[in-house]
Amino acid sequence: MDLIRFSLNRILFIDIETVSSSHRYSDLSSIEQELWEEKRGRYRAEGIDPADYYFNNAGIFAEFGKIICISLGYFSKQEEKRVFKVKSISDHDEAKLLNDFVQVLNQFEKSFGNQLVICGHNVREFDLPYICRRLVVHGMISNFPPFFMKIQMAKPWELTSMILDTLDTWRFGDYKNYISLKLYTHVLGIPSPKDDIDGSEVGKVYYEDNDLNRIRIYCEKDVVSVAAIILKLKGMPPINSDEIIISSE
């Protein structure tokens, strides 16, 4: 595990929260229901109501879900003190959210250039592809950040210098292995980010409780936890609460 080459000051930590694009399965048109049944294919299970399965699982598929929050974090210096700054972009309007995110990411890329690294848990196979697919859905191809264009064209071995996935840091060559962020923080003695809600509850909190702010806070905790994992793996002091700065902008 070569984490030495990843300098903290050029890593952008990221996490997204997603939900089904429609509240209910019944809101889908007949063709959309047919396409959903086709998409979930092998995930079918006897005795599970299609409406329940849609509500609980559609959010993980970019074709049937939408992004409601993207949280970003990065290390910086403030009066010679290490700080971890966190900024969230949350909105019911996914197109607006994505446009705002692209502007922020472009700013980071201007600052770091080819040295920019994006880090997250399962970010390589979920967060980044999901964002790209939703940009395509909204016809925002021309808005693709240069970083995304680079990872789209990059060869698999080139991605290792552009994307730092904490899921990979636990595999040690065992690519069938999966570890949740909750379990990973537990085994490393890091406070769990799942102390309020977890991923399975985001849809309910969004559609039934109408509490996007609660989801934003949950998303920010995930970003902080991923950063804490990287610090632990690099043998560096953990993040203290007084080092975390949540941006309200």
Identify whether 242 is part of a domain: yes
Q: Are residues 191 and 115 in the same domain?
A: yes
Q: Are residues 114 and 184 in the same domain?
A: yes
Give 73-86 pLDDT, tens digit per residue.
Answer: 999 988 789 999 99
Give 30-78 pLDDT, tens digit per residue.
Answer: 999 999 988 877 666 666 778 888 998 999 999 999 999 999 999 998 8
CATH number, domain containing residue 144 = 3.30.420.10
Q: Are residues 51 and 170 in the same domain?
A: no
Identify whether 3 is part of a domain: no
Identify whether 201 is part of a domain: yes
Instruction: Give 94's contacts (C-beta < 8 A, 6+ positions apart).
Output: 66, 67, 68, 134, 138
Identify whether 54 is part of a domain: yes
State how far Cα 224 lies from the chain centre. Answer: 12
Q: Are residues 35 and 85 in the same domain?
A: no
Partners of 81 in beta bridges: 78
Average pLDDT over residues 192-202: 79
State how far Cα 1 lies from the chain centre. Answer: 22
DSSP of 95-133: HHHHHHHHHHHHHHHHHHGGG-EEEETTIIIIIHHHHHH
| Structural contact between residues 226 and 184, judged by C-beta atoms closer than 8 angstroms | no
Q: Are residues 74 and 163 in the same domain?
A: yes
Phi-psi region of 202 (alpha: psi -120 to 50; beta: other; left: phi over 0): alpha
Q: Are residues 152 and 224 in the same domain?
A: yes
Identify whether 2 is part of a domain: no
Query: Lowest-pLDDT range, 1-15, 121-135, 171-185?
Result: 1-15
Cα gap 146→103, rounded to integer Å: 11
| pLDDT (0 to 100) of residue 42 | 64
| pLDDT (0 to 100) of residue 86 | 97
Which strands sit side by side in the sheet containing 244-246, from one edge to the other? 163-165, 117-120, 11-20, 65-78, 81-90, 244-246
Q: Are residues 54 and 133 in the same domain?
A: no
Q: Are residues 198 and 90 in the same domain?
A: yes
Identify whether 235 is part of a domain: yes
Helix crossing, 128-137 with 94-112: angle to 10°? 120
Domain that holds residue 195: 8-18+68-246
Q: Are residues 49 and 122 in the same domain?
A: no
Q: Are residues 110 and 124 in the same domain?
A: yes
Cα gap 43→217, rounded to integer Å: 30
Q: Are residues 73 and 28 in the same domain?
A: no
Identify whether 197 is part of a domain: yes
Give 138-189 pLDDT, tens digit per residue.
Answer: 999 888 888 888 877 777 777 877 899 999 999 888 888 899 999 999 999 9
Structural domain count of the chain: 2
Q: Are residues 72 and 33 in the same domain?
A: no
Q: What's the predicted TM-score (pTM) here? A: 0.92
Identify whether 161 is part of a domain: yes
